[in-house]
Amino acid sequence: MKTLLFSSPIFISKPTTNNITHKASLFSSQLGFSCCPMNINTTSNAFKLRVIRNNSKEYEDEDEDEDEDEEKDGLLLGAEKDTVAEFQLIPQSGVFEVGNFHDGILASKDDEESVDDELIQERNTQLTYNIVFVTSEASPYSKTGGLGDVCGSLPIALAARGHRVMVVSPRYLHGGPSDKKFAGATNLNCGTKVHCFGGIQEVDFYHEYRAGVDWVFVDHPSYHRPGNPYGDMYGAFGDNQFRFTLLCQAACEAPLVLRLGGFTYGEKCLFLANDWHAGLVPVLLAAKYRPNGVYKDARSIIAIHNLAHQWYGALEWIFPTWARTHALDTGQAVNILKGAIVTADRILTVSQGYSWEITTPEGGYGLNELLSSRKFVINGITNGIDVTEWDPSSDVHIASHYSVDDLSGKIDCKIALQKELGLPVLPDCPLVGFIGRLDYQKGIDILLSATPNLLQDDVQFIMLGSGEKQYEEWMRASEAAFSDRFRGWVGFNVPISHRITAGCDILLMPSRFEPCGLNQLYAMRYGTIPVVHGTGGLRDTVKSFNPFAEEGKGEGTGRLTSECTLLLCDFEQMDLLTIDKRMHVGFQYEQVFEWAFIDPPYVT
Ligand X SMILES: Nc1ncnc2c1ncn2[C@@H]1O[C@H](COP(=O)(O)OP(=O)(O)O[C@H]2O[C@H](CO)[C@@H](O)[C@H](O)[C@H]2O)[C@@H](O)[C@H]1O
Enumerate binding residues for ligand X (CB under 6 A): 145-147, 149-150, 305-306, 350, 383, 435-437, 464-466, 492-494, 497, 514-519, 537
CB of 104 to ligand X, least distance (A): 18
- Cα distance between the two ends of the chain: 68
CB of 155 to ligand X, least distance (A): 14
Nearer Cβ to ligand X, position 49 or 304?
304
Q: How far apart are CA 395 and CA 538, in angstroms?
A: 24
Per-residue DSSP letters for 460-477?
A: EEEEEE-B-HHHHHHHHH
Q: How far apart are CA 357 and CA 494, in angstroms?
A: 30
Nearer Cβ to ligand X, position 91 or 380?
380
Which string of b and e fits 554-576 if b means at least 16 CB within 10 Å? bbbbbbbbeebbbbbbbbbbbbb
Q: Are 239 and 193 in contact (CB under 8 A)?
A: no
The C-alpha angle 146, 175, 311, rounded to 5 degrees, equals: 40
Q: How far apart are CA 459 and CA 486, in angstroms?
A: 9
Nearer Cβ to ligand X, position 460 or 519?
519
Strand pairing partners for 270?
Answer: 131, 299
Helix axes 408-420, 494-503, angle to 10 degrees: 130
Q: How far apart are CA 273 and CA 339, in angstroms?
A: 12
Q: How far apart are CA 595 and CA 589, in angstroms?
A: 10
Q: How far apart are CA 218 and CA 231, in angstroms?
A: 18
Q: How far apart are CA 382 and CA 410, in angstroms?
A: 27
Q: Per residue, what are the HEC states of 475-492?
A: HHHHHHHCCCCEEEEECC
Nearer Cβ to ligand X, position 344 or 569?
344
Q: How far apart are CA 501 and CA 102, in angstroms?
A: 31
Q: Largest Cα–Cα distance of the chain, in whole Å?
A: 77
CB of 387 to ligand X, least distance (A): 13
Nearer Cβ to ligand X, position 162 or 363?
363
**Cis amide bond preceding 140, omega within 30:** yes
CB of 313 to ligand X, least distance (A): 12
Which string of b and e fits 35-50 if b means at least 16 CB within 10 Å? bebbbbebeebbbbbb
Q: Are 276 and 240 in contact (CB under 8 A)?
A: no
User: At residue 347, what are phi and psi to the nearest 5 degrees?
Assistant: -125, 130
CB of 81 to ligand X, least distance (A): 18
CB of 167 to ligand X, least distance (A): 15
User: At residue 341, what are phi and psi to the nearest 5 degrees?
Assistant: -65, -35
CB of 3 to ligand X, least distance (A): 32
CB of 491 to ligand X, least distance (A): 6
Nearer Cβ to ligand X, position 96 or 471?
471
CB of 295 to ligand X, least distance (A): 26
Q: How far apart are CA 387 and CA 31, in angstroms?
A: 6
Strand pairing partners for 302?
Answer: 273, 347
CB of 71 to ligand X, least distance (A): 32
Nearer Cβ to ligand X, position 84 or 194?
84
Q: Are 137 and 144 in contact (CB under 8 A)?
A: yes
CB of 114 to ligand X, least distance (A): 28
Of 96, 265, 85, give the one whose Cα is nearest residue 167: 265
Q: How far apart are CA 417 and CA 478, in angstroms?
A: 19
Nearer Cβ to ligand X, position 249 or 383?
383
β 231-232/235-236 pair status: antiparallel
Nearer Cβ to ligand X, position 217 or 489?
489
CB of 350 to ligand X, least distance (A): 4
CB of 37 to ligand X, least distance (A): 21
